[in-house]
């Protein structure tokens, strides 16, 4: 156990340097979201076309159209979701500054109760309250974190949106590429597309497991199972509605 490698140094100088830095923001969740949704979106379109017995080129055209539209929609939605967190954080900051200005004793009592629940008491508790309430910014930051459970900063909305958008496009394109291969025809296109989709979905889960230190095989299989379930549902829907499409073609 003594030789187990740790993620960072615990020397006093290293600790001070690390804690003085702004925490780096991770966009992994945005990328994983985009990758899974992009592949599932494309697979669902391809599976529904296959279930309806339509030509492969229709799957490609519909897949591209759906991929671009859904990638933009996902990017915009993620932008709004992340930005709403920023807006909520700033609204809370304004609220707490107003409360400190008009009800400082009440806000001091809130600080006192927060740290009493953490195990502080007596003179030590009062010193903590006095120290925090002597610095307005520290006071407000403490309330945002401790009372409302918000981080003091979050991911940039535009970067989160772009991470979702580009990974959505990149992974979603993979199952469509077989439809551009001239030596494939008919159901061969759908078969190869299905294989590439399996690899893509498993790969997204594997990468997630690698980055997060999870069991990579399990993470890959979980992601594949979710995407496979969506593809199966789309295929069944296409198969069910195929007679309706046949009537439309005859009409």
Q: How many CA atoms lie within 13 A of 62 on its CB side?
A: 16
Average pLDDT estimate for 13-36:
76
Candidates 112, 19, 38, 34; CA nearest to 78 is 34
C-alpha to C-alpha distance for 167 and 190, rounded to whole angstroms: 23
Q: Assess contact for 192 and 181: CB atoms under 8 A.
A: yes
At residue 248 the predicted structure's pLDDT band, cuts being 50, 70 and 90, is: very low
Any idea what the Cα angle at residue 41 is, between residues 35 and 42, rounded to 5°? 95
Kindly tell me the sign of the dihedral angle through the C-alpha atoms of 231, 232, 233, 236. positive
At residue 250 the predicted structure's pLDDT band, cuts being 50, 70 and 90, is: very low
213 or 116, higher pLDDT: 116
Q: Is position 81 within any domain?
A: yes
C-alpha to C-alpha distance for 97 and 247, rounded to whole angstroms: 66
Q: Is position 166 within any domain?
A: yes
Q: How many CA atoms lie within 13 A of 105 on its CB side?
A: 0
The pLDDT score that the predictor gives to residue 18 is 65
The pLDDT score that the predictor gives to residue 1 is 44
Average pLDDT estimate for 106-124:
95
Neighbours of 182 (CB within 10 A): 5
132 or 55, higher pLDDT: 132
Question: Which CA distances in Å does 28 have to 32, 50, 164, 195?
Answer: 6, 33, 9, 25
Q: What is the pLDDT of residues 219-235, one digit of tens each?
A: 889 888 887 777 677 66
The single-letter DSSP state of residue 179 is G
Can you spell out the DSSP letters for 1-20? -TT---SS--SHHHHHHHHH
- Token pair 């006095």 is found at 130
pTM of the model: 0.80
Q: Is position 129 within any domain?
A: yes
Q: Is position 15 within any domain?
A: no
Q: Assess contact for 168 and 75: CB atoms under 8 A.
A: yes
Q: Identify the weakest region by mean pLDDT among 117-126, 165-174, 224-233.
A: 224-233
Structural domains in the chain (count): 1
Residue 52 belongs to domain spanning: 27-250
Question: In the structure encoding, which two tokens stand for residue 56, read together?
Answer: 């492969």
Q: Is position 16 within any domain?
A: no
pLDDT at 155 over 60: yes
pLDDT at 106 over 70: yes
Mean pLDDT of the chain: 85
The pLDDT score that the predictor gives to residue 22 is 64
Q: Is position 20 within any domain?
A: no
12 or 169, higher pLDDT: 169
Average pLDDT estimate for 200-204:
89
Q: Is position 78 within any domain?
A: yes
Q: Is position 7 within any domain?
A: no
Compute, in degrees rounded to 10, the torsion defined by CA atoms 111, 112, 113, 114: 50
C-alpha to C-alpha distance for 95 and 124, rounded to whole angstroms: 28
- Largest Cα separation within the chain, whole Å, is 87
């Amino acid at each position: 156990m003594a030789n187990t490698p740790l993620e960072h140094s615990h020397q006093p100088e290293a600790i001070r340097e690390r804690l003085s830095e702004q925490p780096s923001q991770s966009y992994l969740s945005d990328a994983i979201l985009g990758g899974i949704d992009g592949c599932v979106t494309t697979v669902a379109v391809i599976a529904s076309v296959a279930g309806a017995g339509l030509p492969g080129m229709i799957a490609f055209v519909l897949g591209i159209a759906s991929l671009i539209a859904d990638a933009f929609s996902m990017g915009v939605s993620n932008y709004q979701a992340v930005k709403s967190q920023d807006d909520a954080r700033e609204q809370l900051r304004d609220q707490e500054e107003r409360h400190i200005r008009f009800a400082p004793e009440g806000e001091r009592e809130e600080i006192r109760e927060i740290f009493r629940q953490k195990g502080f008491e007596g003179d030590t508790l009062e010193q903590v309250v006095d120290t925090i309430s002597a610095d307005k910014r520290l006071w407000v930051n403490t309330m945002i974190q401790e009372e409302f459970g918000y981080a003091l900063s979050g991911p940039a909305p535009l970067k989160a949106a772009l991470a979702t958008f580009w990974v959505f496009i990149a992974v979603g394109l993979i199952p469509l590429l077989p439809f551009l291969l001239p030596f494939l025809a008919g159901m061969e296109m759908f078969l190869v597309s299905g294989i590439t989709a399996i690899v893509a979905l498993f790969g997204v889960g594997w990468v997630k497991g690698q980055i997060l230190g999870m069991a990579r095989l399990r993470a890959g299989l979980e992601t594949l199972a979710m995407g496979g379930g969506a593809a199966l549902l789309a295929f069944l829907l296409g198969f069910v509605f195929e007679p309706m499409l046949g009537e439309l073609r005859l009409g």
